[in-house]
Amino acid sequence: MMVDLSTTYLGLTLETPLVASSSPLCKDVAHVARLAESGVGAIVLHSLFEEQIDAEAAALDRALSSGVAQAEASDYFPDMSGYNLGPEAYLEHIQKCKIAARVPIIASLNGVSHGGWLRYAKLMEQAGADALELNLYEIPSDPELPGSVVEQRYCDIVADVRSQIAIPIAVKIGPYFSSIPDMARKLDNAGASALVIFNRFYQPDFDLENKELVSTLHLSTPQELLMRLHWAAILFGNVRADLAITGGVHSASDIIKCMMAGARVAMSTSALLERGIVHAKQMIYDLQDWMLKNDYHTIAEMQGAMSARRVPDPSAFERGNYMRVLGSYTLAGTR
């Protein structure tokens, strides 16, 4: 007996619920093709950053202001070799990936202001992207800036982009809102077709010897999945937008947990970087094997089965479980 691994996400039909999320792998068309061949249901390209769009716009403005003919202005664009790809190259990359892979290609924009977002959202759509992921990343360091202003800024960006393009929009958010369910509903109402939980914020470490800040990239671990499962299980059924989980997805068991919490897809990056693209095929095989052994015929049967709405004791997701967890711990040496 075969099982149906398909799911729907952003209005798209995916052959499997495993999505390759934004990573350096997605910069290479050959890797994108291999990811598709390995069984991922969709691929989120690496992000085009707001800073790249702004740098290109500033360079073009300087070129035009100095009287340089527009045809020659490209010579004045900043060197983007230290970034993922320049804005124009990114659009070309979308087109190449669409040809190379038979799965949906999701473009990604990373920033916090309107800037060139509206223009590039439209250009990404025109380049053939099946959907757009807005990676909203802001560190509010101004003590005079109320949280409500930051939240409204996010919603305004989503609403404005929604008004400019027809393809579906996923919004990738962090876990640090005072009320995640309220923010989720606001983004839902602003036009988000999906919510991706959660962004992993990379924070600098302190180099004590040189008295410098050091930027270090740490790949995710399966332990990080727990917070994401918690909130997906709470949000399931309370928003119209699809739910996607990213961060901590390393195995078929992790994919299954994401589905049980209520996600439509489980996104993986670190596991593929650590173990190679072929690991995607292994996760899909193990997922299918688990479903056969546990009498699940479709992914849809699992989705939301262990959400807060469906488990016998929903307090496990709330404060009541806090005391039970603490009370269950036994100090070392007292056993």
> Six-digit token pair at 97?
């990936």
Helix%, strand%, coil% for the chain, nearest 5: 45, 15, 40
pLDDT digits (tens, 9 = 90+) for 165-185: 999 999 999 999 999 999 999
Q: What is the pLDDT of residues 199-220, one digit of tens each?
A: 987 778 999 999 999 987 789 9
Q: For residue 188, give the 3-state DSSP assignment.
A: helix
Give domain limits for the chain: 7-47+84-310
The token pair that represents 277 in the structure block: 């693209």
**Three-state DSSP class for 213?**
strand
So what's the pLDDT on residue 325?
Answer: 60
**Calpha distance 249→268 (Å, rounded):** 5
Average pLDDT over residues 261-285: 97
* Angle at alpha carbon of residue 271, lines to 270 and 275, rounded to 5°: 120
Q: What is the pLDDT of residues 26-44, one digit of tens each?
A: 999 999 999 999 999 999 9
Residue whose tokens read 């993922």: 84
Residue 293 to residue 289: CA distance in whole angstroms: 6
User: Are residues 134 and 159 in contact, defined by beta-carbon separation less than 8 angstroms?
Assistant: no
- Cβ proximity of 191 and 158 under 8 Å: yes
Distance CA 126, CA 138 (A): 27
Structure confidence by residue, pLDDT tens digits, 130-164: 999 999 877 788 999 999 999 999 999 999 999 99
The amino acid at residue 258 is: C
pLDDT bin (cut points 50, 70, 90) of residue 50 is confident
Q: Cis ω on the peptide bond leading into residue 198 (within 30° of 0)? A: yes
The answer to whether 139 and 166 are in contact (CB under 8 A) is no
Where does the chain show beta strands of DSSP type E? 7-9, 12-14, 18-20, 42-44, 48-49, 105-111, 131-136, 169-173, 194-197, 205-207, 212-214, 242-246, 265-268
Residues 6+ apart with CB under 8 A from 48: 84, 85, 87, 90, 107, 108, 109, 110, 120, 124
Q: Is the pLDDT of residue 61 over 90?
A: no
At a CB cut-off of 8 Å and minimum separation 6, what does 199 contact?
Answer: 135, 136, 137, 172, 173, 174
Task: Give the fold, CATH level 3, of 7-47+84-310.
Answer: TIM Barrel (3.20.20)
> What percentage of residues in the chain have a pLDDT greater than 90?
71
Predicted pLDDT of residue 76 = 32
Dihedral (C-alpha) 288, 9, 45, 101: value to the nearest 10 degrees?
A: 60
Q: Which of 58-72, 77-91, 223-237 has the lowest mean pLDDT?
A: 58-72
How distant, in Å, are the alpha carbons of 230, 245, 295 from that of 306?
10, 15, 16
Percent of the chain with pLDDT over 70: 84
Predicted structure pTM score: 0.87
User: How far is residue 248's CA from residue 227's CA, in Å, rounded to a whole number?
Assistant: 10
Sign, CA dihedral 117-123-125-128, equals: negative
Q: What is the rounded CA–CA span in Å between residue 64 and residue 77? A: 12
